[in-house]
Structure 1
Amino acid sequence: MTIRVVVADDQELVRSGFAMILDVQEDIEVVAEVGDGASAVEAVARLAPDVVLLDIRMPVLDGIEACRRISAGGACRTVMLTTFDSDEYVYEALHAGASGFLLKDVRRDDLVHAVRVVAAGESLLAPSVARRLIEEYTAVTARPAGARALSEDRLQVLTARERETLLHLGRGLSNAEIAAALTVSEHTVKSHVGNVLGKLGLRDRIQAVICAYETGLIAAGSPSGE
C-alpha cells in the first residue's frame, strides 16, 4: 500500500527537499507541497493523505492550529517539524493531535522511517525532543516522595514483560525495535503495548513515555534513558 503524504513548510528548499526524499521511495507518494497552514488543511481535506508533515511556524495559519483542524477532521496523521529542539510549542503540538515531532535536520533515512512509523499508527518523537518534553514535564509536575511512590504503584498491574515494554516505549523505540530488543515478534509487541496502554489508562505511546519517567521507571535527565 502506498503512503500518501502532504508536505507543508513555508521554506521552499526545505519543502522540496523533504518531498524529493520521500517521493523516490517505492511505498511513498507526495501528493501535495504547500507553504502555509491554511493550504495544508485544504490539501488534506481535498486529497485525503495518510500523513502530513507540518512546519510549526508558518504564515496564514500556524502548524499547531493546522494540526488541530486536521486531527479533528479525519484519519490523517501529522508529523510536526521544527528547527528548534527546545521549541515551546512541543506541548501544544502534541495536545493538538500530532503523532510525531521531528527536527528539520533529521537524517534522510530517519525522515522516511518516521513517515512509515506514523502511517502505521504509531507515535514518534525525535530523541532530543523527547528529552526536552520529559525534562519540562517533570519540572512542572515535581511532587513529594509520597506521591512518587504512589505513581510507582501504578506499575504493579503490569507483568514483567509489559514493564519491559513500557521501559522501551519510554526510550522512544518503535514496535520493530522493541521486538528486536525482547527477541519476540512484532505481533507480540503490539499485544504488550496494547496491554500497557489499557492497564495504565494511557491514550497513546507519547503518554506512555511520560508515564515511564513519571513513575521513575526511567530517570529523567539520564543520557542513556536508564
Structure 2
Amino acid sequence: MGIKILIADDDALVREGLKIILEMDERFDVAGCVENGLQAVEFCLKEPVDIALLDVRMPVMNGLQAAKEIVERTSARPVILTTFDDDEFIVNGIKNGIRGYLLKNTPPERMKDALKLVHEGGTVMQDVVLDKIRDGLGRSDKGKIDAGCFSEREMEIMQLISKGLSNREIASQLHISEGTVKNHITSLLNKTGLEHRTQIAIYYLNGGKIS
C-alpha cells in the first residue's frame, strides 16, 4: 500500500495536477483532495493520512494553522507547498511542526522524493528556505546561545546544521561517524525540547530561540 497523501489547495487545477503526478507513482496513494485548511484538518481526523500536503494561502483556515492542528490532533505529517518563500511563513511553519517546505515549482521527481523522505521520518527544506533562514535570522541581533548548556561538539554540530549540511557532510567535516552525529542531534533535541533538525537551525541562528 502506498504512502497516503492528502492534498489541500484552493486551486482546483493545482489539486488535480498534483493528484495525477502522485498517482502515476506506485509509492503514493492520494487519499483525498480538499480546498481549505479546515477541510484538511477534518479529513485527517476521519481518515488515515501519512502526509498532508498543504498550500499556505487558503480560505477558511490557512496552511500554517491547519499544520498546527494536524500535528496536535493527528499522526499525519504536514508539508507546506507554496509559491511563497516569505520569512514569516518559513519560521511560523517550522514552529507549527511542518516536516517539509517545498515551493510549487519543485520538479515532480524531487517533490516525490521529498515526500518519501518525510514519510521515513526526515525533514525537507529546499535551499531557498535554508537561505532565508540563514540570511534573515542570521543577520538579526538575537543575542547568543548559552554555550554552557551544550558541549563543544554539540555547538559545532548546531552551527553546521544551520549551514544546511547533511549528517554525512557533518560527519565528514568533523571526522566522526554518522551515528555519532545522530546521537549528538538526539541530545540537542532533548536539551532544547525541539522536534527536528530544522528547528535546531532556527534555534542556533535565532540566538537560542525558536520564535
TM-score range, shorter chain: 0.7 to 0.9
Structure 1 CA distance, aligned partners of 2:73 and 2:133?
A: 26
Structure-2 residue corresponding to 1:36: 36
- 2:199 maps to which of 196, 202, 207: 207
Structure 2 CA distance, aligned partners of 1:50 and 1:33?
A: 14
Amino acid at match of 1:157: S
User: Within the alignment, does 1:153 sit opposite 2:152 as a pair?
Assistant: no
Structure-2 residue corresponding to 1:64: 64
TM-score by length of 1: 0.75
Structure 2 CA distance, aligned partners of 1:87 and 1:169?
A: 18
SS of 1:88's equivalent? helix
Per the TM alignment, residue 73 of structure 1 is displaced from its structure 2 partner at its CA by: 0.6
Structure-1 residue corresponding to 2:25: 25
TM-score by length of 2: 0.79
SS of 2:81's equivalent? strand
Compare 2-11 and 203-212 and name the one that shifted more.
203-212
Structure-1 residue corresponding to 2:7: 7
Over 3 Å counting, the alpha-carbon distance change for 1:58 and 1:165 in structure 2 is same
Structure 1 CA distance, aligned partners of 2:152 and 2:67?
A: 33
Structure 1 CA distance, aligned partners of 2:48 and 2:63?
A: 18
Structure 1 CA distance, aligned partners of 2:116 and 2:148?
A: 32
Structure-1 residue corresponding to 2:82: 82
**In 2, are the aligned partners of 1:101 and 1:124 still within 8 Å (CA)?**
yes
Structure 2 CA distance, aligned partners of 1:116 and 1:169?
A: 21
Gaps of 5+ in 2: none
Over 3 Å counting, the alpha-carbon distance change for 1:173 and 1:26 in structure 2 is farther
Count matched residues: 207
Q: Please show how residues 188-199 of structure 1 align to structure 2 within 5 Å.
A: 189-198=181-190
Per the TM alignment, residue 129 of structure 1 is displaced from its structure 2 partner at its CA by: 1.7
Per the TM alignment, residue 174 of structure 1 is displaced from its structure 2 partner at its CA by: 5.2
Per the TM alignment, residue 154 of structure 1 is displaced from its structure 2 partner at its CA by: 5.2
Percent same amino acid at aligned positions?
34
SS of 2:88's equivalent? coil
Structure 1 CA distance, aligned partners of 2:110 and 2:169?
A: 14
Over 3 Å counting, the alpha-carbon distance change for 1:175 and 1:6 in structure 2 is farther
Over 3 Å counting, the alpha-carbon distance change for 1:169 and 1:3 in structure 2 is farther
